[in-house]
Amino acid sequence: MKINHAQFIKQEAKRLGFLACGIAKAEFLAEEAPRLENWLQQGFHGEMQYMENHFDMRLDPRLLVENAKSVISLSYNYYPAQLQNKESYKISKYAYGEDYHQVIKEKLRELLASIQQEIGEVAGRCFVDSAPVLERAWAEKAGLGWNGKHSLLIEKQQGSFFFLAELIVDLKLEYDQPTTTNHCGSCTKCIDACPTAAILPNNTVDASKCISYFTIELKENIPSHFKNQFQDWIFGCDICQDVCPWNRFSKAHNEPLFHPNEEMLQFTKRDWEEITKETFQKVFKKSAVKRTKFSGLHRNIRFLKD
């Protein structure tokens, strides 16, 4: 029996190593529009001015891909088998291996090529956290999970340690049912654990108070009143995910390109404090940590140490 196009795409996604794949109709995100506008008006994006750009595109994928019909949402596991030395400064688990933007985009291109080979002339674009796409909203619409109180997508069997990516195509497909149930319930572990009070009680994250924002996005000096609140995080932060009960189901990924640099895993605080530009370039050659640059990492370490 011949499988339909949606089934073929999901089988290919699984073959390429994706955790899950769901499909939603490409249309205007009416429910998200007021939420995004309010979030920006509150200034919760801090100095991430790019969040204000392309407002309409963020809400309508048809402005990103001409004649778009479907948004294919995919997740990719990054939970590591090995963790850093516990007595060290910490970097977010997603940055242990090679930069996910390149690794996953290559897989998306392969998926698009497979679709074109199987189905024929299909136009589309690949997105991995690099364009104005509300990825969590689309993943929820495609049935991949629900948005937790920490604003990250959670899936019952996998937790939240996965990347999201999208393939927007001009092909009409069979659409999945959106996730309508939030399984966080009355749990407030992520809210209670956030040392900078970035997670608000109304399921909103004030990114301008988030440790990830301070250590990656902020280019100026970190405000001094946040001193002694970073709990040794120098690039990103996983606190809200580490305390989430659903992440007890997280399983180690099997993506070789995400395997951590062994030298980095063994770093002590002194190793981080004495890191040279040469060592930084060598250890983080293909890592997302390069986003903060050597000077930014040095600033973050100094903020914790001084």
Catalytic residues: 129
DSSP states along 85-141 = -TTS-EE-GGGSSS-HHHHHHHHHHHHHHHHHHHHS---EEEESSSSS--HHHHHHH
E strand or H helix that includes residue 294? helix 293-305
Q: Phi then psi for 125, rounded to 5 degrees?
A: -135, 145
CA distances from 55 to 131, 134, 142 (A): 11, 10, 22
Mark 228-247 as b/e (b = at least 16 C-beta within 10 Å).
eebeebbbbbbbbbebbebb
